[in-house]
Amino acid sequence: MSFTSCHKIALSGRPHGLPPSVVYRLRSIGNNSSSRNFASSAARQKERVLIVGSGWGGYGVLKGIDKKRWDVTIVSPNNYFNFTPLLASCAVGTLEFRCAVEPVRRYAPQVAAYQAWCDKIDFGLKTVECMPATPVPFDASAPATPFTLRWDKIVLAAGAYSQTFGVPGVKENAHFLKDVRDARKIRIRVLECFEQAMQPTLSDIDRRNLLNFCIVGGGPTGVEFAAELHDLIHAEMANHYPTLAKLAKITIFDVAPSILGSFDKSLVEFTEKTFSRDGISILTSHHVERVQPGKMFVKERGEVPFGILVWSTGLAPNPLINSITEFKKDEKTKSVLTDEHLNLIRNDATVDPDVWGIGDCAQIEDAILPATAQVANQKAQYLVNKLNKLVKDQPSSKPFQFENQGSLAYIGDWKAIYDNSHKESKILNKESGRVAWLLWRSAYFTMTLSWRNKILVPMYWFLNCDKISPLIRNRISNPPTGIFGRDITRF
């Protein structure tokens, strides 16, 4: 195994397995004298590619890049990849958390992986300053020591943050749904609300307030979470907390005049009708002004108490991307702008051939695409192809082209919507209900990355199933309502 400088730079002592001939030198880079930079005396054989972020963009590149020819390093505060479309299911127990993650270390030691934040990039010196995202060993309260990595090529795939629009109290009192850890916190809180409401000391008003589940943001994430929560309440909670389940209420608030703005109107109407039948309220043109523990203030309604508030109002720029000043940015999203080959465009309109930007943190100039996993994944595949050709001295001049495969959203009770109406084809261009639900499940099953999750995902869909087909139910005496149902233990 060859250890190259990118690997060594980050280590503050000789790591296990390093050949004894390796020599380390300590020197500072830029004006950060506390950063450590260990360089090797051994000749560097391969060019270094640094991937920033392990989401749809970064993990996609990590997976496909030719690791024999490139010296690959990945830096991400998470040592896993989040399969975001399944997070809403994990947040209510339709799936278990393991189903929505893939380990970055699957590709180590071929690839050097550091669980760290990339804080600053020097595009001139071709270095990044990183801060460990792990607690300081032996003294968790001590400040972490930053380190520096060098690169020849860099892929920026740091994604974006959750947007709060500066509404006071959101960060402190609301839940977000961007990561598997968020899904875990939401699941624990929802179950806690039911256990708290069960206490005999509570008044009925307190119970209702605790079981008031609010979602701010009527985009696909907010809608899918509302739908999954509805399924949980109307299946397992109705079985195990029958009186409380009747008090539970789900409401979606949005400032826009309609939910699911990116979907065809007929599909939005179908969703609204389904939600109205299922008892999920949609309050559009509503403005949340501030949030406090257990309550929020809505301009059109006054005080709204809640047991849990899930906030999903789009994307805010990543601070790392904000700190970049050398490259052009999109005025609205503040993402870095790239050309059609995904190379970043400098302020003087020239292109940097060694810097690429993909996923939610980057946009192609004059061809803005939605911030979705589909776009991030396709850009990652394009870049993999480009890098793998480049390393063989066969540079590809083909520009990136997005192939829109349509949008899907789960809307509860085994129903979904599918919008592919931009396509000329008359078949399967707009679907709603069970057919769309089958498409939803097959799409995400197909996209699941590892064999492990290709087994786990359908297994949990089956085991946690809250319904039994009438075909089976009518043939057995005393039929169960489902298989085992979702796990509602809280620990």
Ligand X SMILES: Cc1cc2nc3c(=O)[nH]c(=O)nc-3n(C[C@H](O)[C@H](O)[C@H](O)COP(=O)(O)OP(=O)(O)OC[C@H]3O[C@@H](n4cnc5c(N)ncnc54)[C@H](O)[C@@H]3O)c2cc1C
Of 318, 315, 331, the C-alpha closest to 368 is 331
When the beta carbons of 145 and 292 are compared against ligand X, the nearer one is 145
- Exactly one of 53, 93, 217, 222 binds ligand X (CB under 6 A); which one? 53
Q: Could you say whether residue 158 binds ligand X (CB under 6 A)?
A: yes
Q: Residue 319 in 3-state DSSP? A: helix
What is the token pair recorded at 381? 């595949």
Interface segment toward ligand X; rule CB under 6 A; list 5-13, 17-25, 84-92, 341-349: 84-92
Locate 137 and state its tokens. 């060993």
- Kindly report each contact of residues 123-130 with a partner whose C-beta sits within 8 Å and lies 24 or more positions away, as own/partner: 123/326, 123/352, 123/355, 125/29, 125/30, 126/150, 126/151, 126/152, 126/154, 126/354, 127/29, 127/30, 127/37, 127/151, 128/50, 128/52, 128/75, 128/154, 129/29, 129/30, 129/32, 129/35, 130/10, 130/75
Closest to ligand X by CB, 57 vs 169, is 57
Phi-psi region of 226 (alpha: psi -120 to 50; beta: other; left: phi over 0): alpha
CB neighbour class for 184 (10 Å; exposed up to 12, middle 13-18, buried from 19)? middle
Contact 283, 148 (CB under 8 A): no
Minimum gap (Å) between residue 25 Cβ and ligand X: 25
Chosen residue from 4, 38, 85, 412 binding ligand X by CB under 6 A: 85
Least spacing, CB of residue 178 vs ligand X, in Å: 5
The interface with ligand X within residues 108-127 (CB under 6 A) comprises 117-118
| Interface pick for ligand X out of 4, 35, 37, 54 (rule CB under 6 A) | 54
Whether 51 and 90 have beta carbons less than 8 Å apart is answered as no
Find the helix or strand (DSSP H, E) in which 122 lies. Answer: strand 112-122
Helices (H), 80-237: 87-92, 170-173, 180-198, 204-210, 220-232
Task: Tell me how many residues contact ligand X (CB under 6 A).
Answer: 33
Q: Cα(118)–Cα(141) distance, rounded to whole angstroms?
A: 21
Name the residue with the smallest CB distance to ligand X.
Answer: 55
CB of 480 to ligand X, least distance (A): 31
Of 40 and 378, the one with the shorter C-beta distance to ligand X is 378
334: helix, coil or strand?
coil
Site membership for ligand X, residue 317 (CB under 6 A) = no
310 binds ligand X (CB under 6 A): no
Binding of ligand X by 52 (CB under 6 A):
yes
Residue 187 engages ligand X in binding (rule: CB under 6 A)? no
Q: Does 102 bind ligand X (CB under 6 A)?
A: no
Is residue 77 a contact residue for ligand X (CB under 6 A)?
yes
| Site membership for ligand X, residue 175 (CB under 6 A) | no
Q: Least Å distance between CB 159 and ligand X? A: 3
Phi, psi of 249 (to 5 degrees): -140, 135
Query: Of 179 and 413, which CB lies nearer to ligand X in the complex structure?
Result: 179
* Sign of CA pseudo-dihedral 119, 362, 421, 282: positive
Binding part of the chain for ligand X, among 62-70, 76-84, 136-144, 281-289 by CB under 6 A, reads: 76-84
Q: Quick one: which of 214, 342, 376, 387 contacts ligand X (CB under 6 A)?
A: 376
Q: Which stretch, 35-43, 192-200, 346-354, 366-374, contacts ligand X (CB under 6 A)?
A: 366-374
Q: Which stretch binds ligand X (CB under 6 A): 82-90, 192-200, 268-276, 336-344?
A: 82-90
Tell me how far, at minimum, the Cβ of 75 lies from ligand X, in Å: 5
The least distance separating ligand X from the CB of residue 358, rounded to whole angstroms, comes to 7
The nearest distance, CB 270 to ligand X, in angstroms, is: 18
Maximum pairwise Cα distance, the chain: 76
DSSP 3-state assignment of 264?
coil
Q: What part of residues 379-408 is at the interface with ligand X (CB under 6 A)?
A: none
In contact, 326 and 173? CB cutoff 8 Å: no
219 lies in the site for ligand X, by CB under 6 A: no
- Cα–Cα distance measured from residue 184 to residue 82, given in angstroms and rounded to the nearest whole number: 13
Residues at the site binding ligand X, with contacts judged by CB under 6 A = 52-58, 75-78, 84-85, 87-88, 117-118, 157-159, 177-178, 221, 318, 320, 359-361, 371-374, 376
